[in-house]
């Protein structure tokens, strides 16, 4: 097969003084930072749906993407050719992982049986490409939101037949993910929510969603898939409200339905901001519950109110993400999946390279800055000292659960007004800037 990107060489690390846009200025895969190589820290992934399938259409206009290797048809040979374009892309970029939805890699057929056969035919090719290049599947997922049958939800559809169809689709996607050695499996509840409460029985829909996930856990055990399941929170879009609206809502749902041990969260920056949170907030909520699994690395636009899925280039953002990743002890099965698309205006194949190189360099700098902040120790020491009154005396008893309201009352009567220390926000913001 002809190369998909004939004019583009393997992207090399050339260092910060390079002026070559097709080089890494900061991402140096084998460079050790804090005891691990950059590549081990980051575990970058390419999102098949954006890199290979996004035509760059928007609600006001048709696609603009130029993808010379793609003949624009829904044929199996075209889908198979795309596999090799994707792996060439990953290889030239030096990214080790990819993620896909079933319907990104293979076309939906007229029947479930036909769709499954299509998926098998492309999975054969994915398997060959993985073997030829050593690239791996970070996670797989099923697209339960594009087809009209899912317009009122999949697991939360009011129609049991739709529930069954979605279950059959996840069964197959999970089996293909397993076959390809996928390290995890993601559930993003694309249309699991509602457009209006006037036609919705929320309790019933939530029960159905939980039942669906329990059935998926049963099947995972049956086929011996050992990777984690991830839930990806997002508050809205396409629905008015999605049940998995943010990390806290997901964790509450998982606990309520006895699913905690089987799930972690896959957090996406643009979804965090749509939920009115920072990514760091979402990461701390998940990490505190031991459920920070993977990251969909992207960013939103501050002025556009939707999921614009842009490539992350903001060093404060990447620094904060890497701080949380390092503090939780690093990714295990998860990674940084670029769930991001180039702008509609950036329609050439080379733009895909610029976008991913920029994201990887931004994360490399974020990693180095985060590690430097941790090595310096002042920030963490400040936070630890801020809670110092809980390290001994009455505070230690509070944390140990060995005090009572009576004792706290007696303590207060004896000690009078508390002596507070400043929060020092500005001091700490300046401290962080020393490392940027």
Residues with catalytic annotation?
A: 101, 104
Residue list 263-302, contact with Ni ion (CB under 5 A): 268, 296
Smallest distance from ligand XLS to CB 189, Å: 9
From ligand XLS, Ni ion, none, interface partner of 141 (C-beta below 5 to 8 A by class): ligand XLS
Write out the H or E segment, with its range, that includes residue 166: helix 160-179
Q: Which of 182, 174, 175 is nearest to 335 (CA)?
A: 182
When the beta carbons of 49 and 363 are compared against ligand XLS, the nearer one is 49
Our CA angle for 300, 358, 275, nearest 5°, is 15
Q: Does 234 bind ligand XLS (CB under 6 A)?
A: yes
Q: Is 377 exposed, middle or buried (0-12, 13-18, 19+ CB in 10 A)?
A: exposed
Sort residue 194 into left (φ over 0), alpha (ψ -120 to 50) or beta. Answer: beta
Among 183, 307, 324, 361, binds ligand XLS (CB under 6 A): 307
Smallest distance from ligand XLS to CB 411, Å: 49
Smallest distance from ligand XLS to CB 256, Å: 23
Question: What does the block give as tokens for 131?
Answer: 């073997």
Q: How many residues at the interface with ligand XLS, by CB under 6 A?
A: 10
Residue list 326-345, contact with Ni ion (CB under 5 A): 339
Strands 36-37, 32-33: parallel, antiparallel or unpaired by DSSP? antiparallel
CA dihedral of 4, 6, 8, 11, whole degrees rounded to 10: 70
Smallest distance from ligand XLS to CB 101, Å: 6
Cα separation values, 61 from 50, 58, 64, 186, 345, Å? 17, 5, 9, 30, 11
From Ni ion, ligand XLS, none, interface partner of 28 (C-beta below 5 to 8 A by class): none
Among 141, 177, 239, 284, binds ligand XLS (CB under 6 A): 141
Q: CA–CA separation, 29 vs 17, rounded Å?
A: 18
From ligand XLS, Ni ion, none, interface partner of 361 (C-beta below 5 to 8 A by class): none
Residue list 150-169, contact with ligand XLS (CB under 6 A): none
Q: Does 188 bind ligand XLS (CB under 6 A)?
A: yes
Q: Sign of the CA dihedral 245, 247, 249, 251?
A: positive
Smallest distance from ligand XLS to CB 34, Å: 28
Q: CA–CA separation, 188 vs 237, rounded Å?
A: 12
Q: Does 339 bind ligand XLS (CB under 6 A)?
A: yes
Question: What does the block give as tokens for 193?
Answer: 């929510």
When the beta carbons of 96 and 307 are compared against ligand XLS, the nearer one is 307
| Positions that interact with ligand XLS (CB under 6 A) | 101, 141, 186, 188, 232, 234, 268, 296, 307, 339
List contacts with Ni ion (CB under 5 A). 268, 296, 307, 339
């Amino acid at each position: 097969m002809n190369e998909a990107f004939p004019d583009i060489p393997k992207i090399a690390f050339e260092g910060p003084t390079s002026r070559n846009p097709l080089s890494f200025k900061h991402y140096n895969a084998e460079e050790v930072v804090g005891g691990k190589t950059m590549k081990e820290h980051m575990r970058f992934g390419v999102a098949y749906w954006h890199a290979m399938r996004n035509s760059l259409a928007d609600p006001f206009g048709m696609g603009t993407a130029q993808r010379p290797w793609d003949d624009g048809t829904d044929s199996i040979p075209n889908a198979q050719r795309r596999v090799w374009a994707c792996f060439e892309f990953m290889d030239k970029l030096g990214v080790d992982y990819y993620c896909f939805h079933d319907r990104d890699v293979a076309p939906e057929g007229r029947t479930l049986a036909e769709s499954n056969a299509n998926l098998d035919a492309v999975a054969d090719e994915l398997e060959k490409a993985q073997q030829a290049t050593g690239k791996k599947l970070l996670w797989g997922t099923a697209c339960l939101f594009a087809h009209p049958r899912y317009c009122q939800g999949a697991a939360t559809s009011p129609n049991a037949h739709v529930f069954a169809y979605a279950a059959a689709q996840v069964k197959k996607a999970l089996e293909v993910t397993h076959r390809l050695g996928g390290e995890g499996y993601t559930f993003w509840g694309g249309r699991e929510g509602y457009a209006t409460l006037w036609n919705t029985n929320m309790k019933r829909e939530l029960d159905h969603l939980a039942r669906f996930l329990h059935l998926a856990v049963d099947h995972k055990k049956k086929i011996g898939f050992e990777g984690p399941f991830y839930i990806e929170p997002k508050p809205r879009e396409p629905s008015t409200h999605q049940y998995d609206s943010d990390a806290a809502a997901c964790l509450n749902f998982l606990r309520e339905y006895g699913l905690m041990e089987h799930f972690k969260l896959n957090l996406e920056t643009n979804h965090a901001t749509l939920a009115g949170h920072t990514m760091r907030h979402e990461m701390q909520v998940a990490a505190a519950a031991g459920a920070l699994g993977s990251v969909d690395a992207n960013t939103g636009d501050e002025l556009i109110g939707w999921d614009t899925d842009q490539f992350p280039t903001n060093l404060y953002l990447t620094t904060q993400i890497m701080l949380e990743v390092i503090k939780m002890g690093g990714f295990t099965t998860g990674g940084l999946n670029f769930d991001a698309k180039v702008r509609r205006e950036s329609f050439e194949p080379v733009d895909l390279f610029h976008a991913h190189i920029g994201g990887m360099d931004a994360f490399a700098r974020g990693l180095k800055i985060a590690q430097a902040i941790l090595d310096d120790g002042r920030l963490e020491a400040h936070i630890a000292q801020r809670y110092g009154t809980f390290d001994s005396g009455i505070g230690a008893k509070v944390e140990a659960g060995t005090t009572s309201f009576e004792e706290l009352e007696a303590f207060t009567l004896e000690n009078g007004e508390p002596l507070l220390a400043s929060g020092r926000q500005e001091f700490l913001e300046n401290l962080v800037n020393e490392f940027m």
